[in-house]
Structures are given as structure tokens and as C-alpha cells.
Amino acid sequence: MSERVEPFEEETAPTGPAADAVALLQELIRAGCVNDGTPGSGQEIRAVRVLQRFLAPAIAAGRLETHVFEAAPGRASLVARVRGTDDAAPVLGLLGHLDVVPVDPNGWTRNPFGGELIDGEVWGRGAVDMLYLTAVFATVVRELALAPERPRGGLVLLAVADEEAGGEHGIHWLVREHPEAVRVTEAISESGGMRMGRHVAIEVAEKGSAGRRLVIHGKPGHASIPYGATSAAYRVGEVLQRLGEVMPAAELGELWDAFVAARIDDPELAERLRDPVRLDAALPLLGGIAGYAHAVSRVTISPTVLRAGKTHNVIPPLGTIDLDIRTLPGTSDAEVDELLRAVLGELASGVEIRHLRGWAATSSSPDTPLYAAIERAVAAVAAAPTVPIMAAGGSDARVLRELGIPAYGYGILGPGWSYERYREGVHGNDERIDVASVELSLAALRRIVAERIGAERIAAR
């Protein structure tokens, strides 16, 4: 168990515009909807009940339609809809998830499900990923539902289950089984708001996934007489060594130049990064942002699960390596297999490639009215420009993009929230978010909602 710090006195909850969002965030953390990937985990119904209590005044006023959908017992999602007066106006979706990843309590200095407010920060698993935004989304939906005038367009809170394990009990199930419930024309979700230099990053794309299993055959025998046998374990090692030695080449997409311009101040270094031949040699000069730069500039291949042998006295005839492969926009399954064979070289003839679960990379153009509204809101609230970025990981937003719905990763984190700090908080120990970031995200979202669906009163709060 890690050494615990002396407890501070918990601060009084903020009294400004973000008070409701902060209080809701604390309750969502305390719901503890931990998703370990098993069907019965998550139990997001607890967070759904928290949201129902929070939204109760708007529901009672008859201005908010809410529906609870359970893909399996306890695996619940909440959809809350404010209908507009004009059926031709935009319907903006606010896509947040309710589940969080597991916690190792030994790595925490405070209760990971306490939701404590300490020195202006709310502590707890999911504070950054992404309960602070789910709380902000719900706060704006309640405010709009209780406003004296109906908006011209619609606003929909999609508070879903199972994002952390792929969404089969959440957004995927909703789209398949209840498509009318998730009907929106545009959406914002997570994976934005971190600072890239003086810019606020807004996610417009995310890499795809092309999981593969490499099957490697050997010749079995009794382990006491290894001569003449061929252990698949040795061959697994040879394949791993090759995967570690050969890196896929850089492929600089249309978002790369904007990232370099926003984050890199040194002109000479920026020039090297824009050259795919010289890029890799420059990565060590990037410090904490190097991992992100490496990931979004190429297809990445990461061995994650190894298997060989079942008992100690039998030389294994079969070994497998599971690969987490993240792809760039436009990369096909055939191209992934071709890349693997090229990386393996002469070893490829002895390796069978099997396909695991995957999905294509997705993107939304930054040339849309919603992205323009986000730009204006960020400029007004944070006095900062935006930069469109690609996420190295995945989110539920890809499901909406696959339906042709523009979707962006949103947020405005405080000036000290570099990309590196954001990544440390996501799934890390002592996860926490500052109240200032909640306030910024809330203020900008009000402006976005006002502009997109004609709810002027909400922007004035």
C-alpha cells in the first residue's frame, strides 16, 4: 500500500456557475461504475440514477424527455432530449460515457471513488476520462430544459455505458437496437481540450484498430530431449525481436502540419518533423509529446498477449502473438496484412495472420458549422485558437462518424493542461480535474449550444 498523505480539509463546493457540474461530477465518481471488460461489470445503472436525480426538476417540468436503455442487467444508458421548435434546425448530441477503468488502490493517495474536492481539484477515477464532461453536458441540458423559452433546435444527452470496453453494451447496442433514441445531426464528445502550445486541441479524427493474431508453428517433443524438436516459443521470440526492430514508416496526414505549427516553436525542429525521412531521428527531442507524435504519424504495431505451451515438460508446437495495431485514415485490412508481412521479412512464410476485432479510422471535417462554433466559443472563453488533432486511441464518437454524423472531441482544460498532463490523468493514478477546467468547458459549451440551436438565454449565464 502506498504511503498516504495527511488529509486536507475538504473545500466548500464552488458557488459560481460550475457549482452544479462539480457536485454532479463528485456523485458520478462515487457511483464507481468500474468496467473491467466482463459482461456484468460497469453496472452503469448507478450513474444513470445519479443523472435522473440531477435532471428531476427538468423532467418534472415536462421539458425533458428521458429514457433508460439496458443492454444487459445493470448495463444502462440514459438518453435525455430537449426538443426544439424547428424540425429543420440542428439537433446537437452531447455524447458522454458513464463507465470508468479499474483502479489499483495501492497507487492512489486518496480514495479513488471519494470524489473529494481538494485545493480546487476533484479527485477520483474518471474525473478526466470523462466524467467531468458528462457532468458538464448534463448541466447544460438541465439548464436548457428549464429555460423559459424552447430552443429552435434540439439538444440530446447521450450518457452511455461500456465505452471503456468497446461499447457493445453501450453506443453500439443503442445504434443497433434503438436508432431513433440516438438521432442527432452533429455531436461533441471526449478527447479534446488539452493545450498544444497556446492552442486548445479539438479532436476531429481518431485512428482505427486492426487487431491481429500471429500463429507460429513448431515441432513438439518431450522437453527432456529437445534435440530434433522446434519449440514454437523460440519462434515467438524471433518474431517479437523482428517486430521490435522494424518500425512502420511515417505517413504524414493532413492534420500533421497543424499539430507541428501549434506545438513546436523551434523552426529548425519543425522543419525536421515535417520531413518523413528525418522525423524519427527528431522524436527524442520532443520530450513528453514524442509518444503522441510517433503514434499519429504512422500505423503502430504493439504486441500485447503471448501464448506458447500448456505444460512444463512438452515442447510447444504452437505459439501466438496478439497485436494491437492502430491504423491511419484510409488504411485497409489488406494493407495491414501486407505491412505485417513486410515487417516480418523472411519470417513471414512461417507465420499465419488471423484477424481479430477492428474498425476503420474515422474523421470529421473541421470545415463545418459546429466546428466553427467550437472555435468561436474557445476564443471567447479561453482567448485561444483551436487546433484540430487526431486521437491515437478510440472513443464512442467514431460510431457517430460511421453514421455520417460530424463529431468532435471537446473540452477546454486550463492553461497548465498540456497533452502530456492530460495523458497522465487518463487511466492513471491519482486522477483528478481542476474546477477551473470544468468552468471553462461549461462556459464554452453554453455558447456552442446557443449558436447551434438558438438558445441565447443559456449563453448569458
Adjacency order of strands within the sheet including 432-434:
117-118, 121-123, 432-434
Full 3-state SS string of 105-153: HHHCCCCCCCCCEECCEEECCCHHHHHHHHHHHHHHHHHHHHCCCCCCC
Read off the pLDDT band of 247 (50, 70, 90). Answer: confident
Grid cell of 216 as nine digits: 507460429
> What angle, 0 to 180 degrees and rounded to 10, lies between the N-to-C axes of helices 435-453 and 19-31?
110
pLDDT at 17: 67
Measure the CA–CA gap between 273 and 341, rounded to whole angstroms: 27
> Mean pLDDT over all residues of the chain?
94
Measure the CA–CA gap between 410 and 190, rounded to whole angstroms: 5
CB 447 within 8 A of CB 459: yes
What's the average model confidence in pLDDT over 251-263?
96
CATH number of 206-359: 3.30.70.360
What's the average model confidence in pLDDT over 343-352?
95
- The strand pair at 195-196 and 199-206 is best described as antiparallel
pLDDT at 6: 39
Measure the CA–CA gap between 376 and 452, rounded to whole angstroms: 12
Per residue in 178-205, is it b (16+ CB within 10 Å) or e — as a string? eeebbbbbbbbbbbbbbbbbebbbbbbb
What's the average model confidence in pLDDT over 175-183?
97
Topology alike, domains 19-191+393-459 and 206-359? no
pLDDT at 9: 40
> Where are the chain's structural domains?
19-191+393-459, 206-359
Across 279-426, the runs of DSSP E, i.e. the strands, are 300-308, 314-315, 318-327, 351-359, 362-363, 386-391, 407-409
pLDDT at 455: 75
Report residue 277: phi and psi, to 5°: -75, -40
CB 90 within 8 A of CB 153: yes
Read off the pLDDT band of 59 (50, 70, 90). Answer: very high
Listed range (13-17, 138-142, 274-278, 325-329) with the worst mean pLDDT? 13-17
pTM for the model: 0.92
Question: Domain 19-191+393-459: which CATH class?
Answer: alpha beta
Higher pLDDT, 394 or 188: 188
Listed range (24-33, 223-232, 270-279) with the worst mean pLDDT? 223-232
Read off the pLDDT band of 168 (50, 70, 90). Answer: very high
* Residue 8 CB-half CA count within 13 A: 13
Measure the CA–CA gap between 90 and 82, rounded to whole angstroms: 12
DSSP result, 227-290? TT-B-HHHHHHHHHHHHHH--PPP---TTHHHHHHHH---HHHHHHHT-TTTHHHHGGGGGGGH
Q: Per residue in 136-151, pLDDT tens?
A: 999 999 999 999 999 9
What region does 63 belong to: left with phi over 0, alpha with psi -120 to 50, or beta? alpha
What's the average model confidence in pLDDT over 245-263?
94
Whether residue 16 has pLDDT greater than 70:
no
CB 356 within 8 A of CB 304: no
